[in-house]
Amino acid sequence: MNPQQLETLLAEVAAGRLEVAAALEQLRHFPTELLSYAQLDHHRTLRQGHPEVVFCEGKSIEQVVTICERLAAASGGFLGTRATAEQARALAARFPDLEWDPVARTVHRAPVRGASRLGTVLVASAGTSDLPVAEEAAVTAAAMGCRVERLIDVGVAGLHRLLNARDLLTLAEVLIVVAGMEGALPSVVGGLVGVPVIAVPTSVGYGAAFNGLAALLAMLNSCAAGITVVNIDNGFGAAMAAVRILTGRKSA
């Protein structure tokens, strides 16, 4: 039940065309339908702003293509993460304007809209093996309307490379900092800047890295105050957190 339907119902009651008891019955399911408003509003906002997102991992080629076709029909575009080469090729056959990024493992079809309208996200990564996660974050943020800068291979064991990039660090409104192994980069970056720092641990490393656990724990225990953390390898989630921050900022 949407607001118009609710207004109609009340008008019916006011006009004596609907009994109070009958109206009461119809309102039984009102709560969830009211909540559906928000959902619909949200969908509208999404359609106007950024594309829908599909997590492709574990889905069949057929499922991915079908879902993307439905999204494209509804809003013009879509973003797929964790896409395999096979999935990407099938989508490209269907959508000639598809952008496939094999490092980020993303497939993206932009809805028709103008240039970036949100602020700048800097995606910094510690090592070359962290790039898939960093790129997933970068592509997602860009698809959502952010301006994206990249800073790669700035692991803390070679501090000068990070310090050389201080201009870039101070320019960004939000930093996404991606690191595996000992996960120290967000702590160092967090001490250099005052803007929001979203730390992304990666499963890069071996042995006692325990598939990203070492980096995750390090980031949660950062001595730089105000760092926040997302799940291991969750570049997508970090980008969405940046979008939450920048969306609010834009309307400020």
At closest approach, how far in Å is the CB of 61 from its own copies? 15
> Among residues 42 and 70, whose Cβ is nearest to its own copies?
42
8 Å CB contact between 67 and 79: no
Task: Pick the closer one to its own copies by CB: 24 or 93.
Answer: 24
**Looking at beta carbons only, is 39 or 96 nearer to its own copies?**
39
Nearer to its own copies, 92 or 168 (CB): 168
Q: How far apart are CA 156 and CA 186, in angstroms?
A: 10
Closest by Cα among 162, 148, 133 to 238: 133
Instruction: Round to whole Å and give the CA distance between 229 and 213.
Output: 12
DSSP state, 127?
A: S
**Judged by CB, which is closer to its own copies: 93, or 130?**
130
Minimum CB distance to its own copies, residue 57 (Å): 8
Q: Where are the alpha helices (DSSP H) in the chain?
A: 3-14, 20-26, 30-49, 61-75, 85-94, 131-143, 159-164, 166-171, 185-192, 213-220, 235-250
Closest CB 91 distance from its own copies, rounded Å = 18
Shortest Cβ 96–its own copies spacing (Å)? 28
Q: What is the Cα–Cα distance from 212 to 236, expressed in whole angstroms?
A: 16
Minimum separation from the CB atom of position 213 to its own copies (A) = 7
Angle formed by the axes of helices 61-75 and 85-94, to 10°?
Answer: 40
